A and B are shown apart, each in its own frame.
Chain A
Amino acid sequence: DTEVTQTPKHLVMGMTNKKSLKCEQHMGHRAMYWYKQKAKKPPELMFVYSYEKLSINESVPSRFSPECPNSSLLNLHLHALQPEDSALYLCASQQRVGGNEKLFFGSGTQLSVL
């Protein structure tokens, strides 16, 4: 199983809503990531969890709240988002290759904030 599964695939929410994005992998990878990708732009790193602990927070606003319940699951809780937060949210897990990393991406959640 070399898949990273993300749900939902699409999400429309209002600025006062609370929603969660979910990500799951069963490849035994111990690092998981959230990336944000705007149209025609490269993915931008948001958060990294390593061994279920938050390792990197790229100065992401607190309206995005990550959670790693166990080594296979990663959530992103959303609250009071702004229209400019509309984007594709990609989850990834890391395979270590020597001293390097190879990322496996999910299909993403296309988020629209109204």
Chain B
Amino acid sequence: EDKVVQSPLSLVVHEGDTVTLNCSYEVTNFRSLLWYKQEKKAPTFLFMLTSSGIEKKSGRLSSILDKKELFSILNITATQTGDSAIYLCATYTGGFKTIFGAGTRLFVKA
């Protein structure tokens, strides 16, 4: 059975800290790994990763994929209270199937 496992499930940090969120996967037809941020209701797209070792960056957020070890990390530097959200990792396996992990709940204290 395809699965995506995220860790930690929850995390509390102080503003200015750097955090690393982990995602491992076991899927039969890997196409891409995606990160979404879910604040309140709507998940919003952060990154799509298809190749190993190539870091994607957007401001204070960055992510990298290791296809040999089947994992990805999402880094957030200099965290702000607005980074508080659920971060969802997902894999796309083709045929309209995106499999989500349980998410990491991040809370950033002022």
Q: How many residues of B contact A (CB 8 A)?
A: 23
Asked if B42 and A106 sit within 8 Å, CB to CB, the answer is yes
| A102 to B92 CA separation, bound complex (whole angstroms) | 9
Cα separation A110 to B42 with both chains bound (whole Å): 11
Does B43 sit within 8 A of A, measured CB to CB?
yes
A108 x B103 contact (CB < 8 A):
no
Interface majority SS (helix, strand, loop, mixed), chain A: strand
Asked whether any CB of chain B lies closer than 8 Å to the CB of A42, the reply is yes
| Interface size range on A against B | 20 to 34
Mask, A39-50, CB within 8 Å of B = 1, is 011110100101
What are 25 contact pairs spanning A and B, CB under 8 A? A40-B102, A41-B102, A42-B88, A42-B103, A43-B43, A50-B96, A88-B41, A90-B43, A98-B50, A100-B32, A100-B48, A100-B50, A101-B92, A101-B96, A101-B98, A103-B34, A103-B36, A103-B45, A103-B98, A104-B45, A105-B42, A107-B41, A108-B41, A108-B42, A110-B41
Query: 10 new A-B pairs (CB below 8 Å) besides A42-B102, A90-B41, A104-B45?
Result: A40-B102, A43-B100, A56-B97, A94-B96, A101-B92, A101-B98, A103-B34, A103-B45, A108-B41, A108-B42
